[in-house]
Structure 1
Amino acid sequence: MHKKTFVALVLSIPLCLLLILQSAYKPWEEGMFPLSEIHKVDLKKAGLKISVNEIYNPKANSLIDALVNVGGCTGSFISNEGLIITNHHCAFSAVQLASTPENDYLNKGFVARGREQEIEAKGLTCRITDSYDDVSDRVLGAVTQISDPASRLKLINDAMKNIAAEAEKKDPSIKAEVSEMFIGKTYVLFRYKTIQDVRLVYVPNRQIGEFGGETDNWVWPRHTGDFSFMRAYVAPDGSPAKFAKDNIPYKPKKFLRVNPNGTNEEDFVFILGYPGRTYRHRPAQFIEYQQKFVLPYVADLYDFQNGVMEKAGKNDKTLELKLATRIKRNANTLKNYRGKIQGLKGIDLVSQKKKEDAGLAQFINGNVSLKAKYGSLMADIDNLYKIINGDAQRDLWFTQIYTSTTLITVAKNINAFKAALDAQPAAQKQAFFEQNLPKLKQILEKNYESYDFDVDKMIFKRMLEDAAAFNLTQKVDAAGKISGRGSDVKTVIDQYVETTLGISKLNNQSYVFNTILLSPKSVANYNDGVMIFEKEIAKQITELSPEKDRREGLLNKLMGDYVNVKERFLQKNFIPDANSTLRLTYGHVRGYKPADATYLRAYTSIRGIIEKGSSGNPDFAYPEQIRTLWEAKDFGPYAKKNLNDVPVAFLYNMDTTGGNSGSPVMNALGELVGVNFDRSYSATINDYAWNESYSRSIGVDIRYILWVASKIDKADFLVREMGVKL
């Protein structure tokens, strides 16, 4: 396999140059390293006991070949039979879709004691990084003579798509993507192999896999067994194939060895994974926009949505299961966002960024050549964000309306299909209909998975009330036509929603599939209030699009210039922010001091589960078998001596973010010793800034995984498959 797997480092822009000088800042103490650069880092001195070639070797198999991206999380192969370990919460949606009131795998757990019992993990695929190439010159070469911001951005996006399409044409077995590593500056072509058939093998009881619930989410100490096992399958000839009875387990080029002895405090550890998004190379205005608009609005909206959904599912088991994944995702995001708000205010990052940017402006103005090229840069950024802030509420509303209200999304997809159908010549309508209908139905089936009429009504009302409160400069036209029908806005909105959603045939999935989507004529003839409302939203979004494109194009150029000149200011090269491409980070197992006179140790144990369980909080309910085994001190070979207990979770000072969920935590020998699943609450601001003093990530200890598998769920066959002696 041609392999130049790209793993890009994320180094946070320092909060202030003065702080860097005072703290003897070492750039390798944070970040996610490009594997092409790890030979420049003294990993041996940090504690690595294997050659860096065993982590990454462009000429031979290495640890990176054991890594997969599964459902937006990271996973790793741990046997030569395609067995994958990742987080419980990464498998959550697939387990929810497989569950029924009769077979409640979501709450009771699931163990496939034979290959024939493994069940399809619907909606999940495995993506393996195959190779990469830097294509910055090709992308930016397309815009060297272009000054118009919107045209420039369009040409960049077109170039990225064309390069990816060209790569896929050369090798139809791969999926290609061009990732923007720095806005307006660097672009990399990634090639991925995709495994389409993924199956659930073992998911522990929810009281284990989600122990602590939202009470403990983003909190340390933690006692969550956040792990699950899946298996990748391929066609008999080894090629990727959709779920089929005749498929066989995938044979990975590399799988991780499991070390059942785990770690000790201050042990060297490292992670390979697919972190999502970080924003450390952005100016103060971006951070302020996040803190003032994005984080509070989305957190409050998701809090409201969850209240509605939890109430709806309280006395309906089927509906509870149906809404479970959406509730969990919302809850995770809203707590994360509130943690970010608290963290941003706690370290006053906006003020620190402003000081840093002021220093940058002074640096530019003090250099004749830089002033000639970048003299207006900081003012241009500030002026652009003033415009962006002026539309912030409406922009966020447009972003959330489709994800918040299912029927609006259904209407959007049908309206888009309808418009595309109308655009076809009469002689080609039937062929277009037949060719594209299966894809539309597949999309709509996904839309309806978490749909409930009463939930949709309540959330739609909230969205309309939000829009009605916007000032005239941010007016949502479709919502304004409704709220302007009377002086009592709430009553008018209530009546509109009850009537419009109540009579819409989109409520009935069967009617949509069997009547509305029966023929080109039936699609063309159907219309209702929901579809009219969505069409008006789409119309306004289209009308605003040229200005939005202009802003994004201008921002693209400004951010490229910002990074360029800032690298000169700080006399170092920055590494791109995380963007879901494969990365490496390393550190040590270590506790921390979150507050004065408080030290949090690096390990938790089963004792903590028992202690939390006595609180009466339902989030801390656990299987009684855990207490029985703990009281009998039946720990098998998985106890940690200085704890006289089985370690459940542990802390380390590595740099992680969303997407690192499920990442393998490896020891100095490259052996699996845990699975990353969370961060401490103070580390939720890692997306914007990282600091060793407060940034801690959390993993479930391999010893607890093995103890639960063997002692609780009698899954000894899996323990043996991992190569662990019983």
Structure 2
Amino acid sequence: MKKIIFSFVTSVLLLLPNMVKADEGMWFLMFIKRLNERNMQKMGLQLTAEEIYSINNNSLKNAIVQFNGGCTASIVSPDGLVFTNHHCGYGAIAGLSTPEHNYLKDGYWAKTRAEELSPKSLYVRFFVRMDNVTDRMLSVVNPQMTEKEREAALNREMEKIQKENSEGGKYVVSVRPFFQGNEYYYFVYQDFKDVRFVGTPPENVGKFGGDTDNWEWPRHTGDFSVFRVYTDPNGNPAEYSPNNIPLKAKKFLNVSLKGVQEKDFAMILGYPGRTNRWVPSYWVDQQVKYAYPAWVEASKTAMDAMKRHMDKDKGVRLKYASRYASTANYWKNRQGMINALTAHKTADQKRDAEKKFAKWASKDANKAEFGNVLSDMENYFAKTNQESANHNYLSIFFRASRITPLVVGFTKQLEQYLSSSSDQEKEQIKNRLEKNLYAYYDESYYPAEVDLFADNLKLYAEKSSSIPSELSQVKQQYNGDFKRYANDVFSRSIFTSKINFDQFMKQPSAEVLHNDPLAKIATALLTKYYQKTPEEEKLADTYAKAFRKYVKGMRDSKISTTLYPDANSTLRLTYGTVKALPADKRNADVKENYYTTFKTMLDKYKPGDPEFDMPARFVDLYNKKEFGRYLDKDGTMHVNFLTNNDITGGNSGSPVMNGNGELIGLAFDGNIEAMAGDVIFDKKLQRTIVVDIRYMLWVIDVYSGAKHIVDELNIIQ
């Protein structure tokens, strides 16, 4: 382990003057002292690396949490108050809402701790420490192994490492591969599962601009929500209990009201989900021409099906709000990726690097290990291009018709129920099934579920080049009328309504179960989704080895100067500056382009519009100039601003901090011009869109009258 760390750091230090870029990179915290500290301090950081990441002492990392497994949040008060994005809390808030008390639409602020609401399922994850286990992990594998054998050996070693560091279950331990399996690190976390909803602005603030403005600049979105972490009376993680107390935070972020100027230092800590910076040109071509277009088309089909019903009924709109928003976000993202990767000629840039790699790999010293790498990767993508589209049509079908993939598991549980001789086991299975299915019924609207099933299954059946025989029979039997087929399936299946399920449980029958129409088609589709022929498995095995060697070769040869690994939902640091978009990307309505104001937000205001409406009180407060202490020194209320930090999905909700480590805003989006950022960093155009902390506090304090929330914060004037 020491040898790897030494060689890695030594090579990096030699390359530092030219290769460490202020804006590009999602950096490991344990390496920032060696790799980034001096550069960050030259740019304006006033902290030491130890104050950002320390194992033994409180540091900034103790104030950063992963929010419910998919976003980032920060602790901002001694009593465990949490700031994250509105869209990160969206599902939890929707789950707590009813047509009578619609917290999504109308907003909510708990006046007391007793009014803080507990969602059905919500947790935050604190990062404790990490370490390098590359030597140990790679010692259990060898080049002769198949990928399945390699994976099995690595998993066995992962289990040992996880057990050694979990302290009897106190911690969650995760061993993760980096640089495509050329390095391994373990991460120790602690989960807190009693997280309560404190407040959020109304939807026309938290989602101002809707899908139209999503991924666009200029923005005027108050994308934030507030929660609180609770513990047992001794400060330990615990499930919800009325006896629990607010978390006594080891570290929380101070909040700055000083505002930002262009070129100010900006730092983000968060959990970026996934990037693909090391992929070859063949991967890019496949996404642009096959995989992403299928994703876009299938997502739009699902959105249209949901929207038909959401527009007719407020209750249905509430049920599907979170699912629709998630689908719409990825729909626009994937289309933006197609456009950006094409416009930037990303595949061509990758091909230029591959030409250099080919020349290096052809040398006698490298040929044995790297000589076939490019041809093996090219062959894999050539043979899987169409299948990538097929896969995405089916994948989005499963996302749209959520009940379909679940039914396979429910069927197995019912088979176990029917074969069990234990009344206790039967009762446990029944209770578990009822809990899951009843939750689905509560969260769904039957006519919408029928349309989602019908429309996306039809698309898959018509666009895929390879569908299971069972679906071919359906297509022929119903003469392509998938709506009629869906109505038939949903009316007869024991899983699609509470009446059907309860009726089955009164007289459970193996024959009825095995003939269930939804179970039969779901099994066929899921089998198809995961099925691989021996040829496909061999192809995938060859590609996995080739890609791992490609990344290793790109690093060994120094053809790639990228020093950080791809994002994979582990805590990273990114730093840069507050920075406007280039002049040719400026919008005439934005004076300086690195920030937007309350005035430019009012210019977009359309009363009654589902995307650009705003509370009438906003207009009144603006006319009365009631902005309290939250105005910028230029006399305006800043709403959103831009930095050039390197982020991706999972960074939503991440705290944006100044050089003192003080909170100045929350990252919530990127810009459409740099949508290819997950694959290639665009130094000129890549931006992070941030909601200004002063606008957030104005909404909480002045507009909402929840001054008690602001009083919890340690505010730096």
- Is the TM value for this pair above 0.5? yes
Aligned pairs for 1:461-500 (under 5 A) are 461-470=454-463, 474-485=466-477, 489-491=479-481, 493-500=482-489
Could you tell me which of 227, 247, 272 is aligned with 1:275?
272
| CA deviation string 1:115-167 (max 9, x = no partner) | 00000133321111112232333333332264323333343344434543554
Shift of residue 548, structure 1, vs aligned partner: 5.3
Report the CA distance shift for 1:353/1:536 in structure 2 as closer, same or farther (over 3 A).
same
Report the CA distance shift for 1:149/1:295 in structure 2 as closer, same or farther (over 3 A).
same
Number of the residue aligned with 1:45: 42
Number of the residue aligned with 1:3: none
Number of the residue aligned with 1:17: none
Return the alpha-carbon distance in structure 1 between the equivalents of residues 257 and 537 of structure 2: 53
Shift of residue 255, structure 1, vs aligned partner: 0.4
Number of the residue aligned with 2:124: 126
Number of the residue aligned with 1:603: 595
Report the CA distance shift for 1:443/1:619 in structure 2 as closer, same or farther (over 3 A).
same
Q: How many corresponding residue pairs?
A: 695
Aligned residue identity for 2:175:
V
Aligned residue identity for 2:247:
Y
Number of the residue aligned with 1:531: 519
Report the CA distance shift for 1:440/1:597 in structure 2 as closer, same or farther (over 3 A).
closer
- Tell me, yes or no, if the aligned pair for 1:233 and 1:247 is still in contact at 8 Å: yes
Report the CA distance shift for 1:543/1:432 in structure 2 as closer, same or farther (over 3 A).
farther
Number of the residue aligned with 2:552: 564
Return the alpha-carbon distance in structure 1 between the equivalents of residues 506 and 184 of structure 2: 44
Number of the residue aligned with 1:622: 614
Number of the residue aligned with 1:95: 93
Segment drifting more, 539-548 vs 148-157: 539-548
Secondary structure, counterpart of 1:507 in structure 2? coil
Number of the residue aligned with 1:373: 369
Could you tell me which of 663, 681, 705 is aligned with 1:714?
705
Number of the residue aligned with 1:15: none
TM-score normalised per structure 1: 0.90
Secondary structure, counterpart of 2:74 in structure 1? strand
Mapped pair 1:452 → 2:418: no
Return the alpha-carbon distance in structure 1 between the equivalents of residues 163 and 416 of structure 2: 23
Report the CA distance shift for 1:545/1:435 in structure 2 as closer, same or farther (over 3 A).
farther
Mapped pair 1:284 → 2:284: no
Segment drifting more, 393-402 vs 332-341: 393-402
Secondary structure, counterpart of 1:570 in structure 2? coil
| CA deviation string 1:43-87 (max 9, x = no partner) | 111111122221112221101000011121110001110100111
Return the alpha-carbon distance in structure 2 between the equivalents of residues 688 and 543 of structure 1: 28
Number of the residue aligned with 1:664: 655
Number of the residue aligned with 2:224: 227
Number of the residue aligned with 1:14: none
Could you tell me which of 137, 154, 164 is aligned with 1:156?
154
Secondary structure, counterpart of 1:612 in structure 2? coil
Shift of residue 100, structure 1, vs aligned partner: 0.8
Aligned residue identity for 1:627:
V
- Tell me, yes or no, if the aligned pair for 1:150 and 1:549 is still in contact at 8 Å: no
Number of the residue aligned with 2:490: 501
Segment drifting more, 652-661 vs 261-270: 261-270
- Tell me, yes or no, if the aligned pair for 2:397 and 2:457 is still in contact at 8 Å: no
Which residues of structure 1 form unaligned runs of 5+?
1-5, 10-19
Return the alpha-carbon distance in structure 1 between the equivalents of residues 320 and 606 of structure 2: 29
Shift of residue 443, structure 1, vs aligned partner: 4.1
Secondary structure, counterpart of 1:265 in structure 2? coil
Shift of residue 523, structure 1, vs aligned partner: 7.1
Aligned pairs for 1:91-490 (under 5 A) are 91-144=89-142, 146-168=144-166, 170-365=167-362, 367-419=363-415, 427=421, 430-445=423-438, 447-448=440-441, 450-470=443-463, 474-485=466-477, 489-490=479-480
Shift of residue 536, structure 1, vs aligned partner: 2.2
Return the alpha-carbon distance in structure 2 between the equivalents of residues 52 and 542 of structure 1: 45
Secondary structure, counterpart of 2:582 in structure 1? strand
Number of the residue aligned with 2:75: 77
Aligned residue identity for 2:480:
K
Aligned residue identity for 1:117:
E
Return the alpha-carbon distance in structure 1 between the equivalents of residues 142 and 472 of structure 2: 43
Secondary structure, counterpart of 1:639 in structure 2? coil
Return the alpha-carbon distance in structure 1 between the equivalents of residues 19 and 119 of structure 2: 45
- Tell me, yes or no, if the aligned pair for 1:464 and 1:479 is still in contact at 8 Å: no
Aligned residue identity for 1:32:
M
| CA deviation string 1:219-242 (max 9, x = no partner) | 111111111110001111222111
Aligned residue identity for 2:550:
Y
Shift of residue 203, structure 1, vs aligned partner: 0.5
Number of the residue aligned with 2:669: 678
Report the CA distance shift for 1:191/1:440 in structure 2 as closer, same or farther (over 3 A).
farther
Which residues of structure 2 form unaligned runs of 5+?
9-14
Number of the residue aligned with 2:639: 648
Number of the residue aligned with 1:544: 532
Shift of residue 544, structure 1, vs aligned partner: 2.5
Return the alpha-carbon distance in structure 2 between the equivalents of residues 294 and 595 of structure 1: 31
Shift of residue 331, structure 1, vs aligned partner: 0.9
TM-score normalised per structure 2: 0.91
- Tell me, yes or no, if the aligned pair for 1:516 and 1:523 is still in contact at 8 Å: no
Return the alpha-carbon distance in structure 2 between the equivalents of residues 354 and 446 of structure 1: 49
Number of the residue aligned with 2:26: 32
Report the CA distance shift for 1:518/1:548 in structure 2 as closer, same or farther (over 3 A).
farther
- Tell me, yes or no, if the aligned pair for 2:29 and 2:571 is still in contact at 8 Å: no
Report the CA distance shift for 1:598/1:674 in structure 2 as closer, same or farther (over 3 A).
closer
Report the CA distance shift for 1:233/1:664 in structure 2 as closer, same or farther (over 3 A).
same
Report the CA distance shift for 1:596/1:436 in structure 2 as closer, same or farther (over 3 A).
closer
Aligned residue identity for 2:623:
E
- Tell me, yes or no, if the aligned pair for 1:56 and 1:64 is still in contact at 8 Å: yes
Return the alpha-carbon distance in structure 2 between the equivalents of residues 399 and 462 of structure 1: 14
Report the CA distance shift for 1:162/1:509 in structure 2 as closer, same or farther (over 3 A).
farther
Return the alpha-carbon distance in structure 2 between the equivalents of residues 539 and 321 of structure 1: 33
Over the matched positions of the two proteins, sequence identity in percent amounts to 31
Shift of residue 723, structure 1, vs aligned partner: 2.6
- Tell me, yes or no, if the aligned pair for 1:66 and 1:255 is still in contact at 8 Å: yes
Report the CA distance shift for 1:382/1:530 in structure 2 as closer, same or farther (over 3 A).
same
Number of the residue aligned with 2:580: 591
Secondary structure, counterpart of 1:327 in structure 2? helix
Number of the residue aligned with 2:11: none
Report the CA distance shift for 1:255/1:462 in structure 2 as closer, same or farther (over 3 A).
same
Return the alpha-carbon distance in structure 1 between the equivalents of residues 597 and 629 of structure 2: 15
Report the CA distance shift for 1:568/1:139 in structure 2 as closer, same or farther (over 3 A).
closer
Return the alpha-carbon distance in structure 1 between the equivalents of residues 586 and 403 of structure 2: 52
Number of the residue aligned with 2:569: 580
- Tell me, yes or no, if the aligned pair for 1:260 and 1:703 is still in contact at 8 Å: yes
Return the alpha-carbon distance in structure 1 between the equivalents of residues 246 and 345 of structure 2: 51
Report the CA distance shift for 1:635/1:25 in structure 2 as closer, same or farther (over 3 A).
same
